[in-house]
């Protein structure tokens, strides 16, 4: 592999590249799915290849291949240079990456139990038991239980002298119960929806989730929701469960602070952002209790690593401080551009803050979320509910939609309860809330404390063309929002 990397870097420099990097990525993945009491599949995959990214004539080119051979390295390197020269035909300005980044080192996700050493039998037994517990509940129509384990080994080398190797391990799991009756379809999930909750941890993460213990509860809730009252149409106080706060952060903050979107390079697909550079350091994004950081160093997050895919070290940076928007996620090129645009400022990083991430060897790094965390407040959830005279508690995301500047959002949850005079009362089905991002975060008047704070994992974040799926983390605890428009199914 080292020879292949050296050959590719050598070829592109001979062809005139002013900058180049090579990434070799090897991914092993195992997934298990139990559905309605039967094993639907045990999937295992291996995927290996390399990508060569170059700057030639001031423009970008990238080529990649699964064939790990020296001749192929030469072909791919040559193609990357040719592509860059074609890019230069339609160029407005030269690529500016700022100061060189020279990093050498090794990083490995710390785990207690390597999930690939745990037998398939043990994993299947746990899933089958959880699935059986759900199916014991009368009225449940279908059930699912799944686990996913991923090991990604990657090597990054650049013409600037970086050489980095990393091994990232992820473990994820989830269960889901669906009940159908008289045209109503209700689903409950645990620990999170859309299949699973996931972290950069070992099998100990799976054991901690205790799927079997939670299975009867979520199955019962799915059935109970069939006969629950519909969520009323109202403007009221909303308390969101932690996983839904995580989704809210992801969609309305995490994407909005991606500096490539801000500069328009995702305009045709993912969209742009309302957080324009003139707002940096002065825009009131949320209330004073809203403090958000991007932290690639916190253990366990899906956005935790040693270096990003441009070789920039993992960092923790402020994004929203006491409600004021103070920071972006950057890669090298956009950090440089922001610095050129705004000049020295406490809110402008001199160099990239390390958010360039690529899905695999066959994709270029884009600005992706690391772990975008809402820092914990001081409330206990029980006290927060007791402090709420009237409102709705919603939990676990069911649907999510937001406009292409990340302003107008509408999120549905799996379950809700009415709050009356400080108590959680009747169950409500099909709860939906909607709002405008800064108005919503400014209405946040309470965030629960560390005892409720979970580093949620989002393993399905799409962006870019060709498409890339990123795995991002979002630390969150339940939070309260005032004057929120809610409604049920229309």
Partner 1 sequence: MLGERRVAELLKGALAQARIGEVEIVLLAGHEALTRFANNTIHQNVAETNVEVAVRVAVGKRLGSAVTNRLSPEALVQTIAQAEASARLAPETPDFPGFPAPQPTEPVFAFDEAAAGATPEDRARLVGEAIRLAEEAGAVASGALSTAVEEVAVANSKGVFCYHAGTRVRFRTVVHREDGSGYAERSAWRWDALHVPSLARSAVDRALRAQHPREVPPGVYPVLLDPYAVQDVVTWLGYAGAGALAVQEGRSWMNDRIGTKVLSDLLTLWDDGRDPAGIPLPFDFEGVPRQRVVIVDRGVPRGPVYDTVTAAREGKPSTGHALPKAWPEAVSLGPLPTHLFLAPGDATPEDLLRALGEGLYITRFWYTRLVHPRDCVVTGMTRDGVFWVEGGEIAYPVRNLRFTQGYVQALAGAKQVGNETYLLSNGRFGADRVPALLCEAFTFTGVTEY
Under rule CB under 8 A, which residues in 265-324 are in contact with partner 1? 265-269, 271, 274
The Cα 373–Cα 474 span in angstroms is 5
- Give 268 or 344: the residue with its C-beta nearer to partner 1: 268
Alpha carbon of residue 110 to chain centroid? 20
Question: Looking at 11-19, 181-189, 343-351, 384-392, which segment touches partner 1 (CB under 8 A)?
Answer: 181-189
Q: How far is the CB of 337 from partner 1 (least distance, A)?
A: 11
User: In this structure, what is the dihedral angle of CA atoms 256, 259, 260, 263, given to the nearest 10 degrees?
Assistant: 100
Backbone angles phi, psi at 236, to 5 degrees: -150, 180
Question: 215-244: buried (b, 16+ CB within 10 Å) or exposed (e) per residue?
Answer: beebbbbbbbbbebeebeeeebbbbbbbbb
Question: Looking at 60-68, 275-283, 295-303, 373-381, which segment touches partner 1 (CB under 8 A)?
Answer: 60-68
Question: Looking at 42-50, 151-159, 293-301, 383-391, which segment touches partner 1 (CB under 8 A)?
Answer: 42-50
User: In this structure, what is the dihedral angle of CA atoms 358, 363, 367, 372, given to the nearest 10 degrees?
Assistant: -40
Q: How far is the CB of 103 from partner 1 (least distance, A)?
A: 24
Q: Is 66 in the site for partner 1 (CB under 8 A)?
A: yes
Question: Looking at 14-22, 151-159, 313-321, 360-368, which segment touches partner 1 (CB under 8 A)?
Answer: 360-368
Q: Is 16 in the site for partner 1 (CB under 8 A)?
A: no
Cis omega before residue 466 (within 30°)?
A: yes
* Of the candidate residues 2, 14, 44, 99, the single one contacting partner 1 (CB under 8 A): 44
- Give the DSSP letter of residue 307: B
Q: How far is the CB of 436 from partner 1 (least distance, A)?
A: 7
Helix (H), strand (E), coil (C) string for 23-48: EEEEEEEEEEEEECCEEEEEEEEEEE
- Helices 120-135 and 211-226: crossing angle, nearest 10°? 30
Sign of the CA dihedral with 318 first, then 324, 330, and 335 last: negative
Q: Is 430 in the site for partner 1 (CB under 8 A)?
A: yes
- Give 76 or 218: the residue with its C-beta nearer to partner 1: 76
The Cα 20–Cα 181 span in angstroms is 58
Q: Is 363 in the site for partner 1 (CB under 8 A)?
A: yes
Q: How far is the CB of 267 from partner 1 (least distance, A)?
A: 4
Q: How far is the CB of 22 from partner 1 (least distance, A)?
A: 14
* Of the candidate residues 1, 14, 43, 100, the single one contacting partner 1 (CB under 8 A): 43
Q: Residue 164 in contact with residue 158, Cβ under 8 Å?
A: no
Q: Is 246 in the site for partner 1 (CB under 8 A)?
A: no
Residues 80-109 interacting with partner 1 (rule: CB under 8 A): 80, 82-87, 89-93
Q: Is 132 in the site for partner 1 (CB under 8 A)?
A: no
Question: Looking at 213-221, 345-353, 388-396, 431-439, which segment touches partner 1 (CB under 8 A)?
Answer: 431-439
- What token pair was written down for 26? 């090897």
* Of the candidate residues 14, 70, 185, 235, the single one contacting partner 1 (CB under 8 A): 185
């Amino acid at each position: 592999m080292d020879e292949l990397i050296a050959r590719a870097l050598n070829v592109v420099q001979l062809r005139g590249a002013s900058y180049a990097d090579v990434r070799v990525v090897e991914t092993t993945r195992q997934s298990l799915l139990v559905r309605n009491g039967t094993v639907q599949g045990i999937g295992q995959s291996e995927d290996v290849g390399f990508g060569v990214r170059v700057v030639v004539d001031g423009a970008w080119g990238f080529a990649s291949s699964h064939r790990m051979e020296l001749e192929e390295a030469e072909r791919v390197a040559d193609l990357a240079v040719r592509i860059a020269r074609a890019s230069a035909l339609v160029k407005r300005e030269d690529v500016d990456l700022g100061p060189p980044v020279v990093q050498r080192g090794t990083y490995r996700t710390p785990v207690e139990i390597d999930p690939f050493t745990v037998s398939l039998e043990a994993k299947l037994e746990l899933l089958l038991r959880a699935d059986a517990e759900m199916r014991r509940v009368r009225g449940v129509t279908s059930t699912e239980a799944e686990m996913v384990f991923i090991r990604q080994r990657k090597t990054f080398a650049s013409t600037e002298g970086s050489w980095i190797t990393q091994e990232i391990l992820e473990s994820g799991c989830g269960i889901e119960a669906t009940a159908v009756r008289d045209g109503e379809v209700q689903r409950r999930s645990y620990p999170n929806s859309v299949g699973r909750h996931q972290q950069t941890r070992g099998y100990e993460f799976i054991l901690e989730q205790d799927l079997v213990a939670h299975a009867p509860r979520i199955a019962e809730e799915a059935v109970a929701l069939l006969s629950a009252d519909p969520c009323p149409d109202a403007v009221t106080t909303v308390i969101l469960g932690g996983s839904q706060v995580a989704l809210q952060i992801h969609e309305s903050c995490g994407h909005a602070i991606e500096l490539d979107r801000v500069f328009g390079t995702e305009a045709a697909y993912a969209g742009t952002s309302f957080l324009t550079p003139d707002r940096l350091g002065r825009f009131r994004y949320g209330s004073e209790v809203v403090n958000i950081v991007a932290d690639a160093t916190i253990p366990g997050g899906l956005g935790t690593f040693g270096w990003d895919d441009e070789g920039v070290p993992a960092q923790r940076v402020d994004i929203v401080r006491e409600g004021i928007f103070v920071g972006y996620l950057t890669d090298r090129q956009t950090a440089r551009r922001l610095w050129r645009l705004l000049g020295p400022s406490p809110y402008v990083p001199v160099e990239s803050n390390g958010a360039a991430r690529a899905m695999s060897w066959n994709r270029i790094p884009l600005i992706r979320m690391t772990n975008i965390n809402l820092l914990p407040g001081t409330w206990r959830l029980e006290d927060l509910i007791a402090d709420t005279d009237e409102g709705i508690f919603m939990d676990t995301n069911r649907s999510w939609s937001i406009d292409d500047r990340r302003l107008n959002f509408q999120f549905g949850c799996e379950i809700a309860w009415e709050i009356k005079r400080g108590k959680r009362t009747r169950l409500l089905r099909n709860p939906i809330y909607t709002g405008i991002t800064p108005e919503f975060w400014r209405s946040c008047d309470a965030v629960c404390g560390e005892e409720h704070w979970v580093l949620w994992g989002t393993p399905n974040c799409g962006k870019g063309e060709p498409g890339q799926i990123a795995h991002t983390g979002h630390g969150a605890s339940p939070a309260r929002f005032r004057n929120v428009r809610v409604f049920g199914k229309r």
